[in-house]
């Protein structure tokens, strides 16, 4: 299996690894068939994602997809981050082997879950 230089860079030196205490939003996804588990933590201020961290248990593609996706949404508005697709993740990595495409989908899903979590908390606050 051949990985791009960008995939290897993000696998060997992943960016934004960690946990945000009391995050604005949190998303966790897993793929039972491959065993990958991804967690995304976001901090949102004035509708802008000001911090994002991830923890991923998985293969090189899963870690690289998590790492690059955090970079793609950092500093973006919530709506811009919601527009992130697995295709944008793959393009930013310079491609993924076909058998590893599901890793980019997990990254997209984890980010969307974190944003949905943030929006549901925000809606509850506004109702009070």
Nearest to 92 by CA among 115, 75, 109, 108: 108
Which residue in the list 28, 31, 34, 59 is annotated as catalytic?
34
| Two tokens, residue 23 | 């995050």
For the question of residue 103 being annotated catalytic, the response is yes
Give me 50's structure tokens.
């000001």
Contact present, 54 and 38 (Cβ < 8 Å):
yes
Q: Which of 42, 103, 107, 114 is catalytic?
A: 103
34 is catalytic: yes
Tell me which residues are annotated as active site.
34, 103
């Amino acid at each position: 299996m051949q990985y791009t230089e960008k995939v290897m860079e993000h696998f060997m030196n992943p960016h934004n690894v960690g946990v945000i205490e009391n995050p604005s939003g949190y998303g966790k996804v897993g793929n039972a068939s491959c065993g990958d588990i991804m967690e995304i933590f976001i901090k949102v201020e004035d509708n802008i994602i000001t911090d994002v961290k991830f923890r991923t248990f998985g293969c090189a593609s899963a870690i690289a997809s998590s790492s690059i996706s955090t970079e793609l949404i950092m500093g973006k508005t919530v709506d811009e981050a919601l527009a992130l697709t697995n295709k944008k993740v793959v393009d930013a990595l310079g491609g993924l082997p076909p058998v590893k495409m599901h890793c980019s989908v997990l990254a997209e899903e984890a980010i969307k879950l974190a944003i949905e979590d943030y929006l549901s908390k925000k809606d509850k606050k506004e109702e009070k």
